[in-house]
Amino acid sequence: MSSTASKVALITGAGRRKGIGAAIARRLARDGVSVVLADLCAPPADHPLHPGGGQWAELQAIAEEIAARSGVKALPVQMDVTDPGSVAAVLETVTATFGRLDILVNNAGVVVGPAPVLQMDRSAWLRTIEVNLTGMFYVTQIVLPLLLQTAGRSGHGRIVNMSSLAATHPKPFLSAYAASKAGVIALTQSLAQEVAPAGITVNALLPGDIDTDFKQWGFQVESMVKGQELRAVVEAAIAQIPVGRIGTPEDVAAVAAFLCSEEADFITGQAIRITGGRELVQTELPSTMLPSNE
């Protein structure tokens, strides 16, 4: 969309080639937006099936690919959303490089230690909330002055927060993740009212089953827990989606790009589902939620 040309966007959690963050960065760049791609770039997770976060080399490669294809500036930066000092350092880089920030996409997120509430490790609960909700607060609070400054000149600012269908349709064993993503919606709706007079809109996206590395990891974990073949697990998930397929990161990126355009000036404080109609289908719950005493 030409209305986003010459603007600058910061996208967190953009370090996985098949991830939603990278897809949003590609789409915004295609629309003429210069992009700052941020990721923790942490060592791979210990869990043999867990994809882990983006690595520095992968993040650099994504940025180089975007710049080559779109002709806009694509700047990779390492950032820990849970460390205000790290976020402030990135803000300094953005200010020095571009002198403006028009769009913030809070996409960084984790799923840590899925388990029944009775068995959940408290550190898993705390880490999930810290990254998915508190980290989003830190990033927003720290970069908001630059967003407000830019919006004061252009009359246009955008914040897109990544929630999840789990926020409104939680699954068993994902209480920490669901709670954090529900908190994202509340944060979005409160902030939307605060910054609307400045011309900044704030919206949340609620993706359903999207074909990312994390989703594939989730399918593999479900396969092991249920003792079913991976193919059967994936087919069962697709059977619950009225449009008949798993979503793609590009499906989410298209909606994010629209919200970042001037065509979406009258849309704020919304929680927008991108699910293929998944929430319309009833889900059969497991026979028990509690561990056996046997």
Catalytic residue IDs: 177
For residue 50, give the nearest of 135, 127, 121, 111 by alpha carbon: 111
Paired residues of 11 in beta bridges: 37, 105
Question: Do 165 and 207 meet the contact criterion of CB atoms below 8 Å apart?
Answer: yes
In angstroms, how far is CA 169 from the centroid of its own chain?
17
Strands 157-162 and 271-274: unpaired
Burial of 101 (0-12, 13-18, 19+ CB in 10 A): buried
Return d(Cα 12, Cα 60) in angstroms, integer.
14
Residue with structure tokens 């409104």?
168
Question: Do 28 and 103 meet the contact criterion of CB atoms below 8 Å apart?
Answer: yes
Helices (H), the chain: 20-30, 56-70, 84-97, 122-129, 135-154, 175-195, 213-226, 230-239, 249-260
Q: How many CB atoms lie within 10 A of CB 124?
A: 17
DSSP 8-state class, residue 210: B
Evaluate the CA torsion angle 233, 239, 240, 244 in order and state its sign.
Answer: positive
Question: Do 124 and 106 meet the contact criterion of CB atoms below 8 Å apart?
Answer: no
